[in-house]
Amino acid sequence: MAHLQRTLSLGSVVLFGIAYMTPIIVLGTFGILADTTGGLVPAAYVAASVAMLFTALSYARMAAAFPVAGSAYSYVRKAINPKLGFLAGWAVLLDYLFLPMAIWLIGAAYLHSAFPAVPQAVWVLAFIGVTTAINVVGLRLAKNINGALMLVQFLVLVAFVVLCVHYVLGDASKPLWSLEPFLKEGMQLPLIMSGAAIACYSFLGFDAVSTLTEETRDPRRTIPRAILLITLIGGLIFIVTSYFVQLAHPSTEFHSADSAAYEIARNIGGDLFVSIFLIGLVVGQFTSGLSAQASASRLLFAMGRDGVLPHSLFGRLSERFGTPVGSIVLCGVVALLALQMDVTTSTSFINFGAFLAFTLVNLSVIFHYWLNGERRGPRELVQFLIFPLIGMLATLWLMVSLDHLAIILGLSWLALGLIYLGWLTGGFRRQPPELSFEEA
């Protein structure tokens, strides 16, 4: 039997995780966060970072206990119960299935700002059509091209921050160091938490490195450390970037909150920089959407192959292209919902699934180590009970802070999952089929 070579170091895994998160997204969602928090975007990212750090600790604990692919699905299934594991996988499926929609919607919003004569729907359809065609054919971008595109994103991000600093220094009335982006008179905690609930969208993917388990040296140590480093580095990037952008544009007034960074880029860098920024962001959204659709289609294929979803639709590969065409096309069809949704609702809807999965992973730590493992010393009390409880309560708080429509849609998705689980298990009398990720 062929096995993947364990060649990845800690640095390689961390770089993969940061790239998967697409750091430039902090600019893509800045406007809706500023609008939601009343101009306190960095405060929202601080709250999100704290919540994500406790959850990342739980992911690290479970990755050490079960160094297998599958992330939340595998952890909950093995630590608590196969049926609850199915629901964790169902929540993750929500992320995978609808993430391309949100990515393309953000890219389309910025292109519409740059070319207002072209309807936003045209850009959405273009994103869906091109990426679906590429994924069906099975064209894979070379690693060095992906690396180059990632470098472009980082350079644009750094340039944006530098120009924000230059802009602030050029205005004597604006101090470079201020607590205003974090604390100011009249701030409301519920609004900050609502912003944090949206800001967590930027962190999605910090756990994706668990899929590299079979290719990583000493995965029981490397993967947990990578998860924590990715969360810390990502949080630092988001907080620092949003801080300087908030200083440069403290107002919450934008022509369009969905594409606010486009307006800010023009103010701080003029027409030339706004073009560079737009290219960087759209390239980032395109490559991110391409990867997200490919990942979602592979998950759907794995579920179809293992009998979790109908095999005839999801469990087959194209004889011509060797790709899961049915799953890829379904992702494209689902993304058509972007024609009727805005960025706030779409990102919040996705976060509902993430928060549900995060909550169950935190609970898994308690079950695996504290209850079943009976590791109950003073140190273990903190590591395996208090910390995961904090993470669980934080993610639940973020979940109820989401956009109301997103909560309704998320609960509907969960209800659909419960109904499907009941059918799949004969009225919950037998265990659901186990999903295998090794060949997906």
Spell 304-325 as b/e; 16+ CB within 10 A means b: bbbebbeeeebbeeeeeeebbb
Asked whether residue 40 is assigned to any structural domain, the reply reads: yes
Beta-bridged to residue 216, according to DSSP, are 8
pTM of the model: 0.86
Residue 295 lies inside a defined structural domain of this protein: yes
Q: In total, how many domains does the chain have?
A: 1
What mean pLDDT comes out for the span 411-415? 93
CATH code of 62's domain: 1.20.1740.10
Inside any domain, residue 287: yes
| Domain assignment present for 58 | yes
Residue 23 neighbours by CB distance under 10 Å = 20
Domain that holds residue 255: 10-424
Q: Which residue did the predictor score with more confidence, 43 or 308?
A: 43
pLDDT tens column, 20-56: 787 888 998 899 999 999 999 999 999 999 999 999 9
Asked if residue 5 is part of any domain, the answer here is: no
Contact 255, 114 (CB under 8 A): no
Decide if 436 is inside a domain. no
Judged against a pLDDT cut of 80, whether residue 306 lies above it is answered with: no
Paired with 8 in beta bridges are 216
Mean residue pLDDT across the chain: 85
Residue 2, in any domain of the structure: no
How confident is the model over 224-251, as pLDDT tens digits?
A: 899 999 999 999 999 999 999 999 998 8
In a domain, residue 317? The reply is yes
